């Protein structure tokens, strides 16, 4: 269909909401529509005749020009997201499409690029991402959603909180979030690892001492409870707290007072206590290594932090979160995980939880120069077994053997759990049951 002859082409282009500009083969701007002027803030008369990189100053202009690759390879580029710097110093995200321009004889005469301001879409995306996060905790899973929903009320109260969860689930992060959302947020947040200090040191570390309390005590030393006055004290690995100190802590929780070592007077404890452990405190109580009365005092509000294997849908969000953080920390431009690498991580059990995921990404950032993190950039223990090893996948197999092998491996990855295996393989419970019987395998 021919373009109507009576209709000026520039009028059509000027009516578009997207910015459009054309260049000749020497990269001089030959056309700059009204939307282009509006988005870039550059008047058309100043843009026309200038080199396109001096007008557009985008992230691609120095070396990765989209128009150049279109013109050289006679191809097109659609919806590539980049940014340009507006002359007021703001980085504006845009989506570009580019194509070569040819005359009626098919001769290349330049290129055309259109661009769309993505600022609003990016703001919306950021808002959505924010709804998936709570302070520094990222996730949209149901398991985490339950915790998120009660966190604001828990934070506002003065209640003692007990955080239960495996190592690496982010207990300190939750403790900080509770502190930041509480009335005590302007006060200090002091964290103590009760399992990291010898028993005799832990007492003086927590409660401080008075000069003369023991041989080396020449002057008063404030304890962590005093340092946390007006704020929150986070007692990590509370399950490792020695019995003698459990009594003292119980008194702090009951009477809100404590006595520094060597002191004859009590000090008021103006702190909120958040405790955490990866141990089963109830079991410790029944074994007699943890005081029952202290357990009940600590157990006013208990938050169970789900392990990452129970909220796998959060893994892509967390990957995104850590990638952004590591990019800004290391000045890199990694786009994220490739699909293959993400698949491997999604299937991995992640016994170290969020901390392990963070470590995997930190490791991969070292090996990956730019672009997407590929499988070969992952730590060795996540690399798929090579065909030269015990894996005999290169040997000829029947389709039935391949199916059995896939089911066996998936069952092993999911610790024999049938439902998880079904989800991973995308098959029904009945199909899995029949396959297990046929292949002579066993499932949980």
Partner 1 sequence: MLLCLACYNDRLASVFDNATEFKIFRIEENNICPAGHLSLPSKDPKDRTSAILACGATTLICGALCGCTRNLIESTGVKVVPWIRGTVEEVLAAVSDNCLDSLAMPGCSKGTGQGRCRRQSGNGSGFHGHGFV
- Closer to partner 1 at the Cβ: 50 or 119? 50
- Minimum Å gap between C-beta 66 and partner 1 is 13
| Binder among 24, 68, 69, 85 for partner 1 (CB under 8 A) | 85
249 binds partner 1 (CB under 8 A): no
Instruction: Report 317-356 residues binding partner 1 (CB under 8 A).
Output: 330-333
Q: Does residue 47 touch partner 1 according to CB under 8 A?
A: yes
* CA gap 178, 157 in Å, rounded: 10
Nearest CB to partner 1, comparing residues 119 and 289: 119
Mention every residue, 6+ apart, whose C-beta is less than 8 A from residue 390.
Answer: none
**CA-based end-to-end distance of the chain:** 65
Nearer to partner 1, 13 or 92 (CB): 92
Confirm or reject binding of residue 53 to partner 1 (CB under 8 A).
Answer: yes
**Alpha helices per DSSP H over 369-398:** none
Among residues 20, 23, 61, 190, the one that binds partner 1 under rule CB under 8 A: 61
89 near partner 1 (CB under 8 A): yes
When asked if residue 43 is in the footprint of partner 1 (CB under 8 A), the reply is yes
**Is residue 426 a contact residue for partner 1 (CB under 8 A)?**
no
User: What DSSP designation does 276 have?
Assistant: E
The CA–CA distances, whole Å, from 414 to 6, 287, 349, 443 equal: 68, 32, 8, 10
In our burial notation (b when 16+ CB lie closer than 10 A, e otherwise), range 218-240 reads: eeebebbbbebbebbbbbbbbbb
The verdict on 232 binding partner 1 (CB under 8 A) reads no
The candidate with the shortest Cα–Cα distance to 151, out of 167, 166, 170, 168, is 170
Q: Which of 30, 33, 58, 338 binds partner 1 (CB under 8 A)?
A: 58
Q: Specify the residue, 26 or 385, whose C-beta has the smaller distance to partner 1.
A: 26
| Region near partner 1 per CB under 8 A, out of 16-24, 51-59, 170-178, 303-311 | 51-59
Q: Work out the angle at residue 73's Cα, subtended by the Cα atoms of residues 69 and 77, and round it to the nearest 5 degrees.
A: 55
Question: Rounded to the nearest 5 degrees, what angle is found at the Cα of 228, between the Cα atoms of 226 and 232?
Answer: 140
Q: Which is nearer to partner 1, 58 or 435 (CB)?
A: 58
In the three-class reduction of DSSP (H, G, I as helix; E, B as strand; rest coil), residue 114 is classed as strand
Q: How far is the CB of 336 from partner 1 (least distance, A)?
A: 17
Structure token digits, residue 346: 């999604």
Residues in contact with partner 1, total (CB under 8 A)?
Answer: 29
Backbone angles phi, psi at 347, to 5 degrees: -85, -20
Which of 25, 38, 80, 91 contacts partner 1 by CB under 8 A? Answer: 91
Q: Is 104 in the site for partner 1 (CB under 8 A)?
A: no
> What are residue 163's DSSP bridge partners?
276, 303
Length of the chain: 444
Q: Is 54 in the site for partner 1 (CB under 8 A)?
A: yes
* Of 293, 286, 281, residue with least CA distance to 239: 281
Q: Which residues bind partner 1 (CB under 8 A)?
A: 40-43, 46-47, 50-51, 53-59, 61-63, 84-85, 87-91, 330-333
């Amino acid at each position: 269909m021919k373009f109507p002859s009576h209709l000026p082409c520039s009028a059509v282009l000027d009516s578009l909401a997207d910015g459009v500009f054309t260049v000749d083969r020497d990269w001089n701007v030959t056309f700059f529509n009204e939307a282009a002027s509006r988005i870039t803030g550059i008047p058309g008369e100043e843009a026309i005749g200038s080199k396109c990189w001096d007008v557009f100053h985008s992230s691609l202009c120095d070396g990765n020009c989209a128009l150049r690759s279109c013109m050289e390879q006679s191809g097109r580029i659609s919806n590539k997201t980049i940014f340009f710097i507006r002359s007021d110093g703001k980085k504006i995200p845009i989506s570009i499409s580019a194509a070569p321009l040819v005359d009626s004889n098919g001769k290349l005469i330049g290129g055309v690029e259109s661009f769309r301001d993505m600022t609003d879409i990016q703001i919306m995306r950021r808002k959505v991402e924010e709804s998936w996060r709570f302070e520094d905790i990222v996730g949209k899973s149901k398991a985490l959603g339950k915790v998120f929903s009660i966190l604001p009320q828990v934070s506002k109260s003065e209640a003692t909180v007990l955080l239960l969860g495996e190592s690496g689930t982010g207990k300190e992060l939750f403790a900080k979030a509770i502190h930041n959302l509480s009335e005590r947020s302007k006060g200090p947040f002091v964290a103590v690892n009760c399992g990291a200090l010898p028993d005799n040191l832990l007492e003086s570390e927590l409660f401080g001492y008075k000069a003369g309390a023991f041989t080396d005590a020449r002057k008063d030393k404030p304890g962590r409870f005093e340092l946390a006055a007006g704020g929150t004290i986070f007692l990590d690995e509370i399950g490792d707290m020695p019995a003698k100190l459990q009594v003292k802590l119980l008194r702090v929780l009951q009477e809100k007072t404590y006595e520094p070592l060597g002191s004859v007077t009590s000090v008021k404890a103006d702190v909120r206590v958040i405790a955490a452990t990866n141990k089963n405190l109830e079991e410790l109580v029944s074994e007699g290594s943890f005081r029952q009365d202290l357990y009940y005092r600590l157990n006013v509000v208990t938050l169970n932090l789900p392990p990452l294997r129970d909220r796998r849908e959060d893994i892509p969000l967390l990957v995104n979160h850590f990638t952004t953080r590591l990019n800004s920390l290391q000045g890199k431009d990694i786009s994220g995980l490739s699909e293959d690498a993400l698949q491997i991580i999604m299937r991995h059990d992640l016994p170290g939880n969020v901390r392990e995921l963070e470590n995997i990404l930190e490791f991969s950032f070292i090996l990956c120069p730019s672009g997407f993190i590929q499988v070969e950039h992952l730590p060795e223990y996540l690399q798929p077994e090579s065909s030269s090893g015990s894996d005999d996948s290169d040997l000829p197999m029947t389709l039935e053997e391949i199916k059995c092998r896939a089911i066996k491996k998936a069952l092993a990855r999911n610790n024999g759990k049938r439902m998880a295996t079904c989800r991973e393989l995308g098959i029904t419970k009945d199909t899995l049951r029949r396959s297990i019987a046929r292949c002579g395998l066993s499932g949980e």
